[in-house]
Chain A
Amino acid sequence: MEKRAYSRYCFAFLLLGGLLLLLFIWNVNSGSVSLSVKEIFQIIFFRRGEETAYNIVWEIRLPRILAGIILGGALSVSGFLLQTFFSNPIAGPFVLGISSGAKLVVSLVMIACLEYSYTAGSGVLILAAFFGSLICMGFILLISRKVKRMSMLVIGGIMIGYICSAITDFVVTFADDSNIVNLHNWSMGSFSGMSWENVAVMTTVTAIAMIAAFFMSKPISAYQLGEVYAQNMGVNIKVFRIMLILISSILSACVTAFAGPISFVGIAVPHLVKNIFKTAKPILVIPGCFLGGAVFCLFCDLIARTVFAPTELSISSVTAVFGAPVVIYIMIRRQKTI
């Protein structure tokens, strides 16, 4: 590897790491109850402090921040994998309707559980979301066999997303009134109300999927030259495609199960990260995307929480504001080069 490229990669990782640290501190420090930096420092590192403040930091802010980091990272990596799979720069779990599919099945499961007054655990929700993701992924794969143009595939995905969202709305309308509020919040996308148990489950799931994704960087980079060349480099295409679908579905399912559907992170972050690194090498971009997604989501969550405090925005509205322009930019640039 060349020295210049090497130092660029180091710089990129340091930049993302630094931003993450900065946003972490900023997030812990902001909220409706203002706490001094010193207080927070003591609460986190020495577990000392006044009880309300202690609870705010440990039970509300920290789990939320960690969820933002993990889920944001998971979402971006999932987007990157889908873009590789479809060789389409604007593919992502949200535009392809995969998040909405997950949302639909999760709400069905939630409502069913509420009917029998049983609270669904994280594991059940992830399974439901995973199941929903795979169903939509199946449809997308069927469409992708028929259409070759990237825009058509995305339109197909958006339509599937609409159908799933419509059914979700329909189901939610007929659900028990008292539970709607909660469900409604979730279906809009939010990092709020995370428990440590949630964080533990999502960390485990994401960590396993991330390790698997990282060790697939070699076949992924072969696949970037197209299926046939990848096969000629010794990649078992069938196994590879299944793995890629499973990992990206697990990652996006994990996000949807806990935070609901979150738009644009999956497209915008991989694109930005590739531009910071000036390469699309998966071995760098996969960890880069994780960090980048974490930074992006923490930043958006900070805005969602604080700009109109005490009213909270849905996370998707904020990610859309920053993510959608990136998508438009990618499309315009692609148009030029083709």
Chain B
Amino acid sequence: MMRDYFFYTDKMTVGYDGKPLIKEIEIKVNRGEILTLIGPNGAGKSTILKSITRQLKTIGGVVYLDGKMMQKMTDKEVSRRLSVVLTERIRPEMMTCEEVVGTGRYPYTGTLGILSSKDWEKVSEAMEMVHASELKKRDFTAISDGQRQRILLARAICQEPEIIILDEPTSFLDIKHKLELLNILKHMVVRRHVAVIMSLHELDLAQKISDVIVCVHGESIEKYGTPEKIFTSEYIHELYDMTSGSYNADFGCLEMEAPKGEPKVFVIAGNGSGIKEYRRLQRAGIAFLTGILHRNDIDYEVAKALASGIIEEEPFEQISEKKFQEALESIKSCEKVICCIQKFGTMNRKNEMLLEAARQMGIQIERR
């Protein structure tokens, strides 16, 4: 039931100037959960978030917060329940970080907006939560992007919201700060029991931190569900309409486009030894074949993205004679064999034989 959710939208339609962009959006999130919007640039993730935070008027449908229609709530009422972290850069003049965080207390202050000592305690608490206590007296405009995002998150926490909306909170951040920020967010969701709705560009992180994923594509919400359901390589390719390169949803890893043309190189690999070689050949623009790989070999995942062809074998099986012959045929059409394996074992004995056969055929061999 929709009504059981803390926050939900009922057939919300959003857009600019009365023109609908995304129709009949149904987003549901409970306290203690993180919901993440993913989708290509310009799909309207920000538009949806702006409509939820009431920067934009919704064109149709209803947004409910704790069972109440948000359209009927005053700005003040909303401010005590919902806070935001935005992408646009702010440059407040002569404000220390502590003061920026302090603005989160505004909904709770009197006519002149003076913070009480209790408010300042909450400011300290929020700053501690984002590990930014040492920034208190620093000028907000003089700190790094990563620190700035943490301060803005502290500001949002300080507002004691029941739900936080974040628009691409990790853009501009390096990997260390991305992880740090999302970890803080995750802890906060658990500790303060708040609901989070955000948009992320980093699919790998979205997959790991979110409880619910919403895919925005075209005129509607294309898919809605748990990360396990959403993140398949096929679907992500479709969602982002990827025409070059590929995304591996299991590892959250992007690969460049496979080199084109007639493959002239055969790579004997396995046990992760081939990954570096595959990438090197890709960079050089040399098309290649590879094998014989078990489908559970880690090389297999990269080979799938970069090789023109793979001679593959079932997991946990000895390499069959059929596959061996297939590989031999392939090697005959190649000018060079690269062997990345240093030491062969019983499972890949046939690869060793492959190398020996190539040598006898007089094909150029390089060992790595």
Contacts and interface: CB of A to CB of B under 8 A. Distances in A.
B196 to A, nearest CB: 15
Given A89-B93, A228-B55, A234 B84 contact: no
Interface residues on A, range: 20 to 34
A233 B111 contact: no
Contacts of A229: 84, 86, 90, 103
- Please classify the interface of chain B as helix (H, G, I), strand (E, B), loop, or mixed, using the class held by over half of its residues: loop
A90 to B, nearest CB: 13
Contacts of A281: 99
Interface stretch (A59-67, A106-114, A163-171, A213-221): A213-221
Contacts of A278: 94
B97 to A, nearest CB: 13
Interface of A: 87, 89, 215, 217-218, 221-222, 224-226, 228-229, 231-236, 274, 278-281, 283, 337
Contacts, number: 77
B112 A232 contact: no
Given A228-B53, A231-B55, A222 B103 contact: yes
B136 to A, nearest CB: 10
Interface residues of B, number: 34
Contacts of B99: 281
Contacts of B107: 233-234
A226 B85 CA distance: 12
Given A221-B103, A228-B84, A231-B75, A274 B112 contact: no
Given A215-B112, A217-B112, A233 B106 contact: yes
A168 to B, nearest CB: 34
A279 B95 CA distance: 7
Contacts of B114: 283
B94 A274 contact: yes
A233 B112 contact: no
Interface string B89-106: 011111100011001101
Interface of B: 53-55, 74-80, 82-84, 86, 88, 90-95, 99-100, 103-104, 106-107, 109, 111-114, 141, 159
A225 B88 contact: no
Nearest to B142: A337
A225 B55 contact: no
A222 B108 CA distance: 13
A236 B75 contact: yes
7 contacts: A218-B109, A221-B103, A228-B88, A229-B90, A233-B104, A279-B95, A283-B114
A232 B94 contact: no
Given A233-B103, A234-B78, 16 more contacts: A89-B93, A215-B112, A218-B109, A222-B106, A224-B95, A226-B86, A228-B53, A229-B90, A229-B103, A231-B55, A233-B104, A233-B107, A233-B159, A235-B75, A279-B94, A281-B99
B93 A274 contact: yes
A229 to B, nearest CB: 7
Given A232-B82, A233-B107, A225 B75 contact: no
B92 A280 contact: yes
A215 B111 contact: yes
Contacts of B54: 231
A47 to B, nearest CB: 40
Contact of A225 (B78, B79, B100): B100
